[in-house]
Structure 1
């Protein structure tokens, strides 16, 4: 019997995995069974990913010993040889080119302990400023927006328990029914209580099927829609004037801007009718309680930061925050997307959500680490910008832990070209991912069943996931690998930890007094209470379940309204590239599919990638259902199978993000970045599409053959 929690989405459902031995026709086999455990987030529910998560941990392709490239091939080697090679190469680069020739690339599924240690490793063991992680592609827009508007970034400002109390719920760019399915009963309960649910999405998703109003906007027009909704709320007297007066500033400037917003023009640019905007605005503005949730559909744009702030304007104008049934929530994508960005993986952050550019913050963290503040490097660059520096040969060594940048980054061709130029690529992972296949050294790590650590779910609730079985083969915990490499760099005295709890004790101290204060949280407390919300400044205090009841976290304790320009964020379509490509997730898979594509039960549900295309669009481009097509942008092309569906806009194509190689949607996505948070514009690439059977016919005709 193994008590654990799901390694996938941000709900972090608790579960039990048990094994039995069965014999059938003389063949003995081990049978695994997964059951949900009662917990505050999912209440014991499980989804298909969690039910089958154990399957990747026992997969035959699981890496069980280190690999090194010799004579062009990755070959098994002892740990001592692999670690010595990593440390020797890093030391050589440090002495000849300096620390900024080394990049560190993390992941949003790493535990808090590993994320914390990875940041410390980069800054203390290596001394590089170049560290970032794949969470940059997940919640950076919402995180930066929340910090500017409220003074602090926590995924949900309210509790999941507030959802059934809301009279109106806006789900903007989030497909919870497929991405966080164990949360859907909260919304069903809200509907039973009379809530009006609005879903904003270019596709008629399973989440939209539960909505009272589906606003099927053109991708990239979210800020424009939010502005138009706010104009209706203002014009029809639905503003909470008392809340605005007492708890915000910047409202008058926003009103001036709204005077120039034309509802009919906004509706036309969003690709919807003006009445739909009025209906949505009245529904949200006309009730006492309500919650707005955003996710990647709003955030993964070059104006994602401002688009989120436009939706936060709606929350503030109606006063729907800091009380029961109200709030704002950014639906975290990755398992530890919240905690992963709080403790030092981001280029500009130190533990506790401190700023690496703030002298007091640097001094405090340096004192915890036992180093001089001046020894800590400054701010680096975002994840994709690291790939550009690699392509330019300014970064010549890259250490990747828990991520697959060849598949997850935009403009994947440039990324792959850059990684081929590296002098050394080290990857720590469970499988030979698309990135690991290119590596010089691959280090095998433990899975969620074997690795103790804390995770912070989408509510801001810190949870303890303890190792449930011994590590298989020669796999090692990721944090142990970092400590061993640090020792090889003669920095081991800063990395003397006996277990994950020992690291967490230092994390508690390093976060103390910061925005993300974990000081009051201990392993013993997590075992007793199941989970504790942050901020939690004292072991004697309960964590803060609902944020901003009386004040916001800015210096004047007031939230900030934002003037957001009403302009689209998408790449311009043209005669050559007439369609909008957007991407997202499907129920059976997670991130780049490294784990879920190694689950037979999950792979059977979605064995290959696809493009969702409207019937009239398919007819216009001579595409038949189920045939292979090529989708091309200015950056590159990829090949997938077609699915003709009426639930998508005619001007839009949808492709999931879980596959690499020729099926990788990121071969065509945009590399332009949001100026505030450096989020790439994943959701709006101008493309054209063509059926591959036409090219076969053309080639055959050239040969004098007709098919």
Structure 2
């Protein structure tokens, strides 16, 4: 097959363009604030006003080579937006909780005094664990690390979790279980265009990670294949060589069916399986029943497509299996990840270049943010609170006694149950918007409203901030510095381009100042900068699975990022995992898992005959708190919609762009109809970037994966009805 050399094309481009000098302007090298592609960019800064005025792509960034999506091109506009919160806000009318009214401006000292008084009072009356911390992974590694320390040392609570529980938790569970390590990709992204087959499961890559597409298209241009498993005919599914149009929630059956054919037709790498894996014989027995015909009955995918998928993947000299939220946001998300990983293990297409598995990370620091202590059961370096030796090591780094380390908490959604029980009475919320992003929102919003006290740290007044008693203004990504870890597991550097607007402060500084006022400042006073925090993170991660000890800011700059694990300062990092065929389980072997099929938590019935699934559009990010404020992005996609197949629309007498009521056992919402053949007849789809009464999560189910505690966003039973309303103009 013809090779595609992107480096030569890039070099030719540089020779053809001229350097243009802009007076009163400087360029600050950094990365995008949104998804985990972390596309390279230069922020244009007016040196006279100290304001960011624009953006230019970085053609020297090896992952995306100057590619940017609509969100990235406009990301800089969030920094100086008119909606920025510039001073602390205190609620002075409790009756208006859940609205954007009832706040007054305050000084930092007044806000801190109120927070500390409330936190101390609640802890004195109800115990240390009456306070909870709910964080996110759109922050730097430094902020994510410090948030875990702030919760456990500064507030001394066990109850901390993060929004990655709604995003990456099942990928983490499945990869840890199968491979013994959770790094988003076993290969660098620069391998993708050189492989022979890309198998995409549950990823609308062209819209969610569009700057990956030039590499995926290059696979086809070289004569390779692209296979897509998705209930919708997404843009990438339309151009794929094979589209496996399965019913939402049936991925486990599909993966087992493909594995059945890989084994039956002789695509097993016997030497690799024998010497480097466990569990093959048990798995072989389980998948014997998953013939193409049986798998088709469960998934709705035609038997010949299942046979063809196995043939393409099995014959490919090299192949990469990629998956995303479509397979992970299910009650069997961990099983789905392990099942698709089974394909790589059985065929030996892992532990070498151009072959492996990868989870396409949604949030900018979805990888690093889950490695260093924000999870309910985790400590820095991917250590576990359940292991005494891990607690002992981190306690020494933090300067506390092991018995002082709080025990494991509960997952993000389960924290709302503890709020209902009044076990948790206060919430410190940062970098997350659960009033939009959590499932079963009527329930979640009620628990937020009934908290004794809530603090929200944000740079916009989000839907979640409307429930707060105190709102603290934080910085955007371009007003601070630090590191993030991208989709590949490459640690990169975010650089400050503008001084903080108004009275905004970085999250890490706010946490240190609160800890001081809580009487815990001696554990934080040595941390004067983001780099200080990173250097403590390095020590805290040393010897852990996610070992960053050998990474320095200087090395990141010199190498254009460093892949972890990186154990020593003379270690360049690890772009490819398992080249020595040693996996991270104690015996050095990977585990092939026997996984019986389980249906979704809620199947369609006579009352709710449709399957509801949700996802993203290219113009918006997560809960939309940032992107819905950017004029261009809002113009391109101003409102949510429900995709309905033409035959389904005819059955319900629904016309294109009419309003319909979509409802489940948990809630309802009104949406404009988009009639399209790109959706299955038994399925409806709604994007999840809108809040208040437009949020699709009013309808989704709070059923959780038993291992990852990931909610099942991707499948529940729904009904639709026509409304006698005017056509939306």
| Cα distance change, pair 139–492 in 1 and its aligned pair in 2 (3 A) | same
Secondary structure (helix, strand or coil) at the match of 1:693 reads coil
Provide Cα deviations, 1:520-552, integer angstroms capped at 9, x if missing partner.
011122222221000000110111000011210
Matched, 1:502 2:524: no
Q: Which residue of structure 2 aligns with residue 193 of structure 1? A: 222
Matched ranges for 1:401-416 at <5 A:
401-416=430-445
Q: Which residue of structure 1 aligns with residue 134 of structure 2? A: 105
| Residue ranges of structure 1 left out of the alignment (5+ in a row) | 23-27, 698-707
Q: Which residue of structure 1 aligns with residue 71 of structure 2? A: 49
Within 2, Cα distance between the matches of 1:19 and 1:646?
45
Q: Which residue of structure 2 aligns with residue 691 of structure 1? A: 722
Within 2, Cα distance between the matches of 1:630 and 1:539?
59
Q: Which residue of structure 2 aligns with residue 83 of structure 1? A: 112
Q: Which residue of structure 1 aligns with residue 614 of structure 2? A: 583
Alignment partner of 2:341 out of 298, 312, 319 = 312
Cα drift, residue 345 of structure 1: 0.4
Within 2, Cα distance between the matches of 1:368 and 1:16?
36
Matched, 1:32 2:61: no
Cα drift, residue 20 of structure 1: 6.7
Q: Which residue of structure 2 aligns with residue 468 of structure 1? A: 497
Q: Which moved more, 1:604-613 or 1:560-569?
A: 560-569
Secondary structure (helix, strand or coil) at the match of 2:84 reads coil
Matched, 1:483 2:512: yes
Q: Which residue of structure 1 aligns with residue 545 of structure 2? A: 515
Matched, 1:341 2:370: yes
Matched ranges for 1:13-162 at <5 A:
13-18=39-44, 32-37=53-58, 38-72=60-94, 73-162=102-191
Secondary structure (helix, strand or coil) at the match of 1:690 reads strand
Query: What's the TM-score, normalizing by structure 2?
Result: 0.93
Contact 1:55 1:600 in 2 (8 A): no
| Residue ranges of structure 2 left out of the alignment (5+ in a row) | 1-25, 95-101
Number of matched pairs? 690
Secondary structure (helix, strand or coil) at the match of 1:50 reads helix
Within 1, Cα distance between the matches of 2:497 and 2:45?
12
Within 2, Cα distance between the matches of 1:180 and 1:445?
27
Matched ranges for 1:593-608 at <5 A:
593-608=624-639
Contact 1:239 1:317 in 2 (8 A): yes
Provide Cα deviations, 1:115-173, integer angstroms capped at 9, x if missing partner.
10010011111111110000011111111111111111000011111112211110000
Contact 1:614 1:648 in 2 (8 A): yes
Secondary structure (helix, strand or coil) at the match of 2:636 reads coil
Contact 1:393 1:421 in 2 (8 A): no
Alignment partner of 2:464 out of 428, 435, 452 = 435
Alignment partner of 1:397 out of 388, 401, 426 = 426
Contact 2:52 2:498 in 1 (8 A): no
Q: Which residue of structure 1 aligns with residue 37 of structure 2? A: 11
Q: Which residue of structure 2 aligns with residue 248 of structure 1? A: 277
Cα drift, residue 19 of structure 1: 5.3
Cα drift, residue 409 of structure 1: 0.4
Cα drift, residue 258 of structure 1: 2.2
Provide Cα deviations, 1:623-677, integer angstroms capped at 9, x if missing partner.
1111221111001111221111111101001100100111100000010100011
Within 2, Cα distance between the matches of 1:514 and 1:69?
43
Secondary structure (helix, strand or coil) at the match of 2:478 reads coil
Contact 2:71 2:627 in 1 (8 A): yes
Cα drift, residue 65 of structure 1: 0.5
Secondary structure (helix, strand or coil) at the match of 1:103 reads strand
Q: Which residue of structure 1 aligns with residue 12 of structure 2? A: none
Q: Which residue of structure 2 aligns with residue 167 of structure 1? A: 196
Matched ranges for 1:662-701 at <5 A:
662-693=693-724
Within 2, Cα distance between the matches of 1:77 and 1:4?
33
Matched, 1:530 2:552: no
Secondary structure (helix, strand or coil) at the match of 2:381 reads helix
Within 1, Cα distance between the matches of 2:140 and 2:476?
11
Within 2, Cα distance between the matches of 1:684 and 1:209?
22
Q: Which moved more, 1:633-642 or 1:222-231?
A: 633-642
Contact 2:670 2:694 in 1 (8 A): yes
Within 2, Cα distance between the matches of 1:432 and 1:110?
18
Contact 2:482 2:530 in 1 (8 A): yes
Secondary structure (helix, strand or coil) at the match of 1:387 reads helix
Provide Cα deviations, 1:256-276, integer angstroms capped at 9, x if missing partner.
222233331211210121111
Contact 1:261 1:566 in 2 (8 A): no
Q: Which moved more, 1:577-586 or 1:614-623?
A: 614-623
Within 2, Cα distance between the matches of 1:19 and 1:111?
21
Within 2, Cα distance between the matches of 1:588 and 1:552?
39
Within 1, Cα distance between the matches of 2:374 and 2:512?
16
Q: Which moved more, 1:574-583 or 1:160-169?
A: 160-169
Provide Cα deviations, 1:455-494, integer angstroms capped at 9, x if missing partner.
0000000011011111110000010000000011000111
Contact 1:406 1:435 in 2 (8 A): yes
Within 1, Cα distance between the matches of 2:174 and 2:422?
33
Alignment partner of 2:291 out of 262, 265, 269 = 262
Within 1, Cα distance between the matches of 2:601 and 2:418?
25
Secondary structure (helix, strand or coil) at the match of 2:684 reads strand
Cα drift, residue 255 of structure 1: 1.5
Secondary structure (helix, strand or coil) at the match of 1:449 reads helix
